[in-house]
Amino acid sequence: MRLTGFEGRCALVTGAAGGIGQVMVKLLREAGARVMATDTRAAVEGLAPEEDDGLLWRVLDVRDPAAVTARVAEAEAAFGPLALGVHAAAVLSTAPLLECPAEDWQRVMEINAGGSFFVAQAMGRAMRGHGAGAIVVISSNAGGIPRAGMGGYPASKAAATMMTRCLGLELAPHGVRCNVLAPGSTLTPMQTGMWADDQGASRVIAGDAGAYKTGIPLGKLATPEDIARSAMFLLSDEAGHVTMADLYVDGGATLRG
């Protein structure tokens, strides 16, 4: 089955310089969408991406609601009504809650929870005006299960998840679909940055009973392509009756769907 609903449509991607975000931009362009790709200044400058007639790269701080709204307007001015939105921007926090500095908590909540709200709100407002659209927020399977030693990150992802589902309820009468994609451990710099040695992948796959963390039944980590392809389905016309879903793509790690 070939996914449809992308040709000539305007899409906006946040966190586009990251592992999942880069693949999202690639797949959207290959499907015929016209894409505004956004990320932090350091990420965009470090990537040194190329542009074409259907791809623009822009700097965006998702914590700034005015900047988010301006980027949505700019994308529409360049490519027409916003039809597809992917919010992949996020940061990690691995501090135990009792030792978590206030500034670390604030940062992860401002970016992962607050940024998700500002981005989804701006996208949703634009799509509501057009009477159609699809938004996918990249959350985490950690948003649905307690994690030892990194409480701030799951809390921020749980907030982003419920916000997206509530927004989906508000926007459903306007023909706009809002879905959550909850990846598990994925081969991105965010994941590998937590590993102390070359046995990191093996440990994640095996799980850690001492930390109350299950392993991965499929016996492998996800690739960014695994996650991005799932997001493409949620954006596509083939998912036209899917909204407010929370799709776990984690190889069975959380023992739920």
- Give the catalytic positions in this structure: 153
Q: Which amino acid is at 226?
A: D
C-alpha torsion angle, residues 189, 119, 40, 193 (rounded to 10): -20
Rounded distance between C-alpha atoms, residue 9 and residue 80, angstroms: 7
d(CA 196, CA 128): 46
Token pair, residue 238, equals 């083939």
Contact 124, 167 (CB under 8 A): yes
SS3 153: helix
In the chain, which ranges are continuous DSSP H helix?
19-30, 41-47, 65-79, 102-108, 115-130, 152-171, 189-192, 200-206, 224-235
Determine phi and psi for 15, rounding to 5 degrees: 60, 30
Number of other residues whose CB lies within 10 A of the CB of residue 38: 31
Residues making up the chain, counted from first to last? 257
User: Which residues lie closer than 8 Å to 104 by C-beta, 6 or more apart?
Assistant: 93, 95, 152
How many other CB atoms sit within 10 Å of the CB of residue 35? 30
Residue with token string 């909540």: 109
Name the helix (H) or strand (E) containing 98.
none
